[in-house]
């Protein structure tokens, strides 16, 4: 500030000009993410159009065989879609109960000291690079743990990959649910205590129902994240595009297929190259609405309390 | 009689009160047990393969001599350039949204797009980077493309944490500035930013560690190439540390598996160091308030 704050009209004009120039620069920066979203959509749609010029879109959506890397090419997305959903459901089956339990414990029971220690450890789950999870699934979880209970499990399998994705998304479920639990107003709890409820009843009958929409949003967000995970499935689930519901088997997810094509070399302009964008667009069309729903629920809910 | 029933019910509730927190804490135990066994497994299988050669050698088909030097350089290049892109754009976006933008509608439109960007799976960033930046713009499968993709991948993280930092600056201070006749930019420059900067820093470190661990978009952009030279320009082809690890993991030999473990130890140490820095910063911040 100092001596710049004079009322001399000339410098005042200059100072205002600088401020509005900065405003315009920051507006440009703020538009960057919008431009990025447009480029992402335009690129995916544009390349997908060239894909669907060669492939019947109906066949793509309903076909049960995906043999794009073979001689005789078939383009049915269902095996990939099924594997994506299957691994994500396994992930949610692990992450929802554990994440919720963590959220309730940290939000309702843990003292501030314990919380300060435990929270960073839980956050660590989201910070570990996903190649590490894939590695752990392939060389430890499947051969040395899952094989004890499921002797005929394949080396690459959806179960281990799904479980690893589950651990990866625990922090999403835990932290958003905990926020939801902690913003349940004190009045509600006090009212319950006043009519003689005990702590465990307040938690299960008052706090959790009141926080339900926040918890729901956390699960939806985690689901979207699970479907988009790539490295874990590329390493641990394998590249076998089959339509099956047996999680002990090796399967290829949509992201796994994208990784497989990238690992080999798909020359620019081939159908394999175009398929990257079609599968990518399909994936985005599944995760994007989930994201929107979750954000809307969270926003509405923030207004409510 | 009725009195007795009530007493039993009450006792049940007391017992429930004791056991419920224990049941809830099982979640924590499972999570911690998992992290513990993961770290233990990596350490046991990889510690004996830690060596300077891992840092200074080039990749090789002989696991005894293989190192990750080009991958380390690739990570430094891409993460460095991506931070140079995402940090200024992220902070400027936050400044616009919190300090300048007057129109509620425009602001919520921009924010929706920011959230959409945060919801795009990272592998799609890779696919679009390859299609748009590498081929349409002709930048090739280069460090530059990897950096831009990582920058936009981490942009929402940088922006959101910067936004929180700006929101934490009390409005009184701004109003005091206006009372002295300062323009908006002068208030931002000399009052708001100095106070918000440490918290912005924590966010940017978190974004950096996210970028370091990202393998999927880089795999799409650079493929599984065998890099024999240290990259010297942003237009060179490249690989990064997690991708080099993926390469080793997908080989059948046990020696490469152990090498991957050793590489993972290095990568995790780097990330733990960065995380410790943010925890320390946060601690310093909470003390100052």
Please name which of A280, A283, A277, A275 lies closest in space to residue A68, comparing C-alpha atoms: A275
Contact check, Cβ <8 Å, B186/A15: yes
Residues B88 and B43 in one domain: no
What whole-number distance in Å separates Cα of residue B203 and Cα of residue B201? 5
Interface of B with A in 152-171 (CB under 8 A): 152, 155-156, 159
In this predicted structure, what is the pLDDT of residue B53? Answer: 87
In this predicted structure, what is the pLDDT of residue B103? Answer: 79
Residues B32 and B58 in one domain: no
Number of H helices, E strands in chain B: 12, 0
Model confidence at A271: pLDDT above 60: yes
Task: Report residues of chain B scoring pLDDT below 50.
Answer: none
Residues B18 and B68 in one domain: no
What whole-number distance in Å separates Cα of residue A222 and Cα of residue A227? 9
In this predicted structure, what is the pLDDT of residue B7? Answer: 77
CATH of the domain at B73: 1.10.3720.10
Residues B170 and B213 in one domain: yes
Whole-number average pLDDT of chain A: 91
Model confidence at A93: pLDDT above 90: yes
Residues B24 and B129 in one domain: no
Say how many domains are in chain B: 2
For residue B249, the chain A residues in CB contact (below 8 A) are 131, 134-135, 138, 235
Residues B264 and B239 in one domain: yes
What whole-number distance in Å separates Cα of residue A89 and Cα of residue A69? 27
Q: How far is CA A39 from CA A34, A262, B124, B284, in A?
A: 9, 21, 12, 40
Model confidence at A274: pLDDT above 90: yes
Domain that holds residue B13: 2-49
Contact check, Cβ <8 Å, B188/A200: no
Q: Compare all CA atoms of chain A with the CA of B138 and give the residue at the minimum distance.
A: A268
In this predicted structure, what is the pLDDT of residue B288? Answer: 62
For residue B126, the chain A residues in CB contact (below 8 A) are 258, 262
Q: What is the pLDDT of residues A183-229, one digit of tens each?
A: 899 999 999 999 988 888 899 999 999 999 999 999 999 999 999 99
Q: What is the pLDDT of residues A221-239, one digit of tens each?
A: 999 999 999 999 999 999 9
What whole-number distance in Å separates Cα of residue B39 and Cα of residue A77? 37
b/e code A65-84 from CB counts within 10 Å (16+ = b) = bbebeeeeeebbbbbbbbbb
In this predicted structure, what is the pLDDT of residue A7? Answer: 66
Name the CATH architecture for the domain at A78-304: Orthogonal Bundle (1.10)
The proportion of chain A whose per-residue pLDDT surpasses 90, expressed as a percent, equals 76
A1 pLDDT band, cuts 50/70/90, is: very low
ipTM of the complex: 0.92
What are the residues whose beta carbons fall under 8 Å from the beta carbon of B280, sequence distance 6 or more?
none
β-sheet bridge partners, residue A75? A66
What whole-number distance in Å separates Cα of residue B169 and Cα of residue B126? 36
Model confidence at A4: pLDDT above 60: no
pTM of structure: 0.93
In this predicted structure, what is the pLDDT of residue B227? Answer: 80
CB contact, 8 Å: B103 with chain A? Answer: no
- Using the structure block, give the residue that is written with the tokens 């797009």: B113
Contact check, Cβ <8 Å, A230/B216: yes
Contact check, Cβ <8 Å, A280/B124: yes
Residues B69 and B17 in one domain: no
Contact A73, A67 (CB under 8 A): yes
For residue B264, the chain A residues in CB contact (below 8 A) are 129, 131-132, 135
Q: How far is CA A186 from CA A87, A106, A180, A286, A304, in A?
A: 39, 16, 13, 37, 14
In this predicted structure, what is the pLDDT of residue B166? Answer: 94
Contact A152, A248 (CB under 8 A): yes
Please name which of B20, B26, B8 lies closest in space to residue A200, comparing C-alpha atoms: B20
CB contact, 8 Å: A206 with chain B? Answer: no
Chain A nearest C-alpha distance from B140 (Å): 11
In this predicted structure, what is the pLDDT of residue B289? Answer: 52
Residues B219 and B248 in one domain: yes
Residues B12 and B120 in one domain: no
């Amino acid at each position: 500030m100092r001596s710049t704050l004079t009322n001399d009209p000339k410098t005042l004009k200059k100072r205002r000009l600088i401020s509005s120039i900065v405003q315009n620069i920051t507006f440009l920066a703020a538009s960057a993410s919008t431009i990025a979203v447009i480029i992402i959509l335009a690129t995916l749609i544009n390349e997908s159009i060239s894909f669907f010029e060669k492939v019947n879109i109906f066949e793509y959506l309903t076909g049960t065989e995906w043999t794009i890397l073979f001689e005789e090419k078939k383009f049915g997305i269902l095996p990939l879609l099924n594997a994506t959903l299957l691994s994500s459901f396994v992930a949610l089956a692990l992450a929802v109960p554990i994440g919720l339990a963590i959220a309730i414990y940290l939000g309702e029971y843990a003292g501030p000291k314990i919380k300060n220690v435990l929270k960073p450890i839980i956050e660590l789950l989201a910070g570990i690079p996903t190649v590490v999870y894939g590695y752990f699934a392939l060389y430890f979880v499947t051969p040395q743990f899952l094989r004890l209970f499921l002797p005929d499990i394949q080396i690459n399998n959806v179960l281990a990959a799904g479980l690893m994705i589950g651990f990866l998304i625990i922090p999403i479920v835990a932290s958003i649910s905990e926020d939801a639990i902690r913003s349940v107003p004190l009045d509600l709890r006090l009212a319950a205590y006043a009519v003689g409820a005990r702590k465990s009843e307040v938690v299960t009958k008052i706090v959790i129902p009141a926080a339900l929409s926040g918890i729901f949003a956390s699960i939806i967000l985690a689901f979207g994240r699970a479907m988009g995970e790539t490295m874990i499935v590329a390493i641990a689930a394998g590249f076998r595009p089959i339509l099956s519901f047996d999680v002990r088997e090796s399967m290829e997810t949509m992201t796994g297929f994208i990784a497989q094509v990238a690992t080999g070399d798909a020359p620019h302009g081939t159908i394999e190259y175009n398929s990257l964008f079609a599968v990518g667009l399909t994936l985005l069309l599944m995760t994007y609405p989930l994201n929107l729903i979750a954000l809307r629920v969270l926003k509405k809910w923030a207004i409510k309390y | 009689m009725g009195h007795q029933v009530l007493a039993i019910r009450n006792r049940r509730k007391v017992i429930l009160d004791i056991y419920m927190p224990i049941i809830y804490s099982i979640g924590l135990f499972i999570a911690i047990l998992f992290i513990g066994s993961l770290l233990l497994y990596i350490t046991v299988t990889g510690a004996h393969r830690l060596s300077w050669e891992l840092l200074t050698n080039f990749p090789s088909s002989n696991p005894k001599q293989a190192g990750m030097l080009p991958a380390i350089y690739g990570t430094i290049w891409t993460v460095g350039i991506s931070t140079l892109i995402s940090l200024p754009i992220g902070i400027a976006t936050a400044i616009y949204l919190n300090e300048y933008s007057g129109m509620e509608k425009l602001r919520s439109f921009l924010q929706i797009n920011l959230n959409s960007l945060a919801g795009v799976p990272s592998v799609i960033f890779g696919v679009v980077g390859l299609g748009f930046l590498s081929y349409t713009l002709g930048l090739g499968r280069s460090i530059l493309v990897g950096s831009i993709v990582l920058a936009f991948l981490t942009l929402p993280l940088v922006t959101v944490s910067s936004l929180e930092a700006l929101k934490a600056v009390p409005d009184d201070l701004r109003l005091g500035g206006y009372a002295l006749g300062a323009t908006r930019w002068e208030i931002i420059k000399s009052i708001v930013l100095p106070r918000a900067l440490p918290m912005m820093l924590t966010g940017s470190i978190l974004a950096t560690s996210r970028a370091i661990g990202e393998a999927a978009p880089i795999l799409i952009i650079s493929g599984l190439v065998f890099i024999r030279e240290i990259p010297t320009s942003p237009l060179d082809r490249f690989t990064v540390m997690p991708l080099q690890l993926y390469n080793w993991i997908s080989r059948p030999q046990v020696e490469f598996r152990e090498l991957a473990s050793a590489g993972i130890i290095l990568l995790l140490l780097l990330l733990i160091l960065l995380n410790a820095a943010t925890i320390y910063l946060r601690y310093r911040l909470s003390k100052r308030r």
